[in-house]
Structure 1
Amino acid sequence: MAKMSKEYWEKRQHEREAKAYSSILEVEKEYKEALERARINISKNIAYISDKYMKDNRLSHNKAMKLLLGDDYKAWKRDLHNYMKEWKQLKRTAPWEARKLWLEIETLSARSRMNVLDTLRAQIDYELIQVSDKAVQATGKALFAVYGNTYQEVVKDLGVKSMFSENMVKAVIDRPWSGANYSSRLWGNSEKLARVLKQEVATGLIQGINLKTMGKRISDRIEGAKKNDVERLLRTEVNYTMNQATLDGYRDAKIEKYTFDATLDSRTSQICAGLNGETFELSKAVVGVNYPPMHPRCRSTTTPVIDFEALGKQLQRKEESDKLTEEEFLAVRKYIGGQSYALNESLRNRRELSDDYKQWSRDLDKALDKMPKYQGEVTRSIGFFGQKEQLKEFLQIHKVGEDVEYPAYTSTTKGEIYNPDADILVKIKSKSGRDISSMNKEEQEIVYPRNSKFTVVNFKVNYGKYEIEMEEKDE
């Protein structure tokens, strides 16, 4: 059992890492696309200047200092309004960056004259400000979801109650864990790239470099940022967030030790390779020393050190009146262990089950039939982690007087509310929910079989949280 359980934990951690890793790839793609749009816009402006002011495909420093007149100056003033719009947005999302942008706007607005070089520099700033603002917001949402999903899966696997809250997540992702947090790093990368691009422009004009060559240099700089800075930053931040969620789950489950796991990193660094398989005390975990991430793009993770024999004995405490077969017992244990997420997701979306899932469901159905029925109120906490459309869809089908059917197994608790900070709290007057708490003392879990039906009898909102009351529907 100990060996199987250790392999199970390694597999679960690898699945969680892969899930977290894939979630940031969409943000990475959007970030790179935004940088590409910025590159195109800057290149267009260089091409325009090239057509209007160059001679022999070159722009002299004197020409670069040429004042904008007529329509060009009017167009520049219109662009200044775009800066103002961006400033208003940044006031809400990035106050520190907004203050810096405001100083720039004031400086530009105060000028009655503007030269060609100034317009190129200002456009670089403007384009990269837009890129960074959107990237910071998208990254924050993605990291929030990574933490929430990882933490709740870890504590579920460990059989303890979730202590998840939004403040808990913000404290982690906003923490300057290696001198800065994700937001500061994104803005810092943007400022660094802006300085490099403006230097390319200034140097090119002073040296009289061909404008086509200048455009190529700027494109190369942006391509380098897309490949190196974007990937390195986002992939490192997602590894940090996932591992911090795991660490918090260990703490809540009273885990005392963990084992370092570097097997996922295809290009394992020397330091990660040296730590692989090593066991450390949880109280002495330090990021970058003995806890991942250890380096940029790190994909290492950890597994908890558990007394699996003691855990096995605990799980075998069940009602003596209805003995479960070994297959039925293992089906419940597997459900409690956290693999229920994948099974329930398939059932909820009415997908064709694999042969393994079909057998598991059959064994679980038989096991639940043997478990005692629970009478009394049970609760179910549901979090949507900022996914407003899914929350809206759930509320639309849970209206007072309406009947709802859950194609998946439905887990509830008869003890304290599982997660008081969740978006939705469902209360059910149980008469036939199956009591499996003898196999999971921590959660006091009551499970409803698949395809259970309920009637919504009450709905209310308390301090921005939704509360739904339901009754079992008699067949």
Structure 2
Amino acid sequence: MNLKIADNRKYNAERKAQSALMKRDLDRERALIEIYQESYDRLQGKIDRFYINYAGREGLTKQEAMKRADQMDVTKFNRKAYKAVKEKDFSPATNEWLRTYNLKMKVSRLELLKAELDLEIQNLTAETYEMFDNARRSEIIREFERQAGILGNSSKGVKKRLEAILDADFYGESFSSRVWGKTGLQQALQKDVFASLNRIYTDMMGYKEERKRLAKKYGTSQANAERLIKTEIARINADTQKEMLVANEFTHFIFVAEPGACEICAPLDGKAFPVDELEKGVNMYPMHPNCRCSGYGHIELKYKKGGSTLNDFKLNDEDER
């Protein structure tokens, strides 16, 4: 087969795979929107009830918020926290926190509300992480099978290899820490929600404005979560592909920019890069968060009359297709 035609087919196959991945992205996005909306509704409902129950004509005062909480409400929360440990897949640190979490009967109304909201955020994070981890595992298997089909690889020792890729750090941080860590999704949202509580001592007009701000913060957290899983899947696919290119002794990687590529990725479309020089964010996807570019392997062959099969890629950046 003509090498040019073969490369065109590989290029088009990558574009098709990109399109399929984007459709799965949309499915995950819809599921995430539903998870976040349900969580926000529960959380905002708790805050609304708190405000309505304890606010006077002039709004909510700190004195009212700091009064002792009803003992039945405290007991109810403690049971809920105990049940959550049994049913949810939290991070190890969260599980330990919940196991030892036992609100005292003399806790204030505000402290009880904070505990309720904290538990809601923990539940949201656990549900999001479970969905993300399932997505990571299904995508890495899908990409491995796709690459194996292209390259004709066997599946020997694949489980151990794929687990190593899933557990790998990305720019010095694991996926789990990006969700549960000090600067992860859970901590960032908790900080925003608790900051909102500090502005709860206001009249009804001020409270309505604070509700809008909190809704925006939830929306920001959701957008950050979407970006995180999309970029993580790209990272997984890149690591899977690079490992297989090296194992099969490919010399070069041909970059395939996604349709409507940005100004970062578009100039790389159709360019060849040595496999041993590939670096994510430089000449290997993901070039940036949300990147949906990809590529395929190429083995350089030398021509007797000089030059090689890389001539088209190096000399013609536009690569007529």
TM-score range, shorter chain: 0.7 to 0.9
**Alpha-carbon shift at residue 39 of structure 1 (Å):** 1.0
Q: Give 1 or 2 for the bigger CA radius of gyration.
A: 1
How far 1:167 sits from its partner (Å)? Answer: 2.1
Q: Take 1:163 and 1:284, find their aligned partners in 2: how far apart are those partners? A: 27
1:39 matched residue in structure 2: 40
What's the counterpart of residue 280 of structure 1? 273
Identify if the C-alpha distance between structure 1 residues 50 and 190 changes in structure 2 by more than 3 Å, giving closer, same or farther.
same
Which has the larger share of strand? 1
Amino acid aligned to 1:230: A
Match of 1:99 among 70, 90, 96: 96
The residue number in structure 2 matching 1:382 is none
Does residue 248 of the first structure (1) align with residue 243 of the second (2)? yes
Distance 2:97 2:5 in 1: 56
The 3-state SS of whatever aligns with 2:198 is helix
Taking every aligned residue pair, what percent have the same amino acid on both sides? 19
CA change 1:118–1:62 in 2 (3 A) is same
- Measured in 2, the distance between the counterparts of 1:62 and 1:125 equals 22
SS in 2 for 1:194: helix
Quick one: distance in 1 between partners of 2:59 and 2:203?
A: 10
Say which SS state the counterpart of residue 303 (structure 1) adopts. Answer: strand
CA distance in structure 2 between the partners assigned to 1:53 and 1:68 by the alignment: 11
> Which secondary structure state, in structure 2, belongs to the residue aligned with residue 210 of structure 1?
helix
The reply to whether residue 229 of structure 1 matches residue 224 of structure 2 is: yes
Rounded to whole Å, the distance in 2 between the matches of 1:197 and 1:245 is 38
User: What's the offset of the Cα at 1:154?
Assistant: 1.5
CA displacement at 1:93 relative to structure 2: 5.6
5+ residue gaps, structure 2, are 304-321
> d(CA) in 1 for partners of 2:18 and 2:287?
15
Deviations along 1:410-443, one digit per CA (max 9) or x if unpaired, are: xxxxxxxxxxxxxxxxxxxxxxxxxxxxxxxxxx
Count of aligned residue pairs for this structure pair? 299
Instruction: Determine whether 1:62 maps to 2:63.
Output: yes
Does the aligned pair in 2 maintain the 1:155–1:253 contact within 8 Å? Answer: no
Superposed CA deviations along residues 282-301 of structure 1, whole A, max 9, x for unmatched, are 12222223211121111121
1:140 matched to 2:133: yes
1:254-311 deviation per Cα after TM superposition (whole angstroms, max 9, x unaligned)? 212112222x1535143x234333322212222223211121111121221135899x
Q: Is the 8 A contact 1:265 1:298 kept in 2?
A: no
Give the secondary structure class of the aligned counterpart of 1:244.
helix
Question: Match for residue 193 of structure 1?
Answer: 189
TM-score (norm 1): 0.58
Pair 1:217 & 2:210 matched: no
1:321-340 equivalences under 5 Å are none
- Structure 1 residues 204 and 75: alpha-carbon distance in aligned structure 2, compared to 1, 3 A threshold: closer
Higher relative contact order (CA 8 A, sep 6+): 2
Change (3 A) 1:33 1:8: same
> Hey, what does 2:18 align to over in structure 1?
17
Given that 1:259 and 1:304 are in contact with CA atoms closer than 8 Å, whether structure 2 keeps it comes out as: yes
CA distance in 1, matches of 2:54, 2:3: 75
| Corresponding residue for residue 427 of structure 1 | none
Cα distance change, pair 254–131 in 1 and its aligned pair in 2 (3 A): same
State the SS of the aligned residue for 1:304.
Answer: strand
Residue pairs, 1:70-469, within 5 angstroms: 73-89=71-87, 94-102=91-99, 105=101, 108-109=102-103, 111-163=104-156, 165-187=158-180, 188-205=184-201, 210-226=206-222, 228-262=223-257, 264=258, 266-270=260-264, 272-306=265-299
Q: TM-score, normalised by structure 2?
A: 0.83
Could you say which structure has the higher helix fraction?
A: 2
Q: What corresponds to 2:313 in structure 1?
A: none
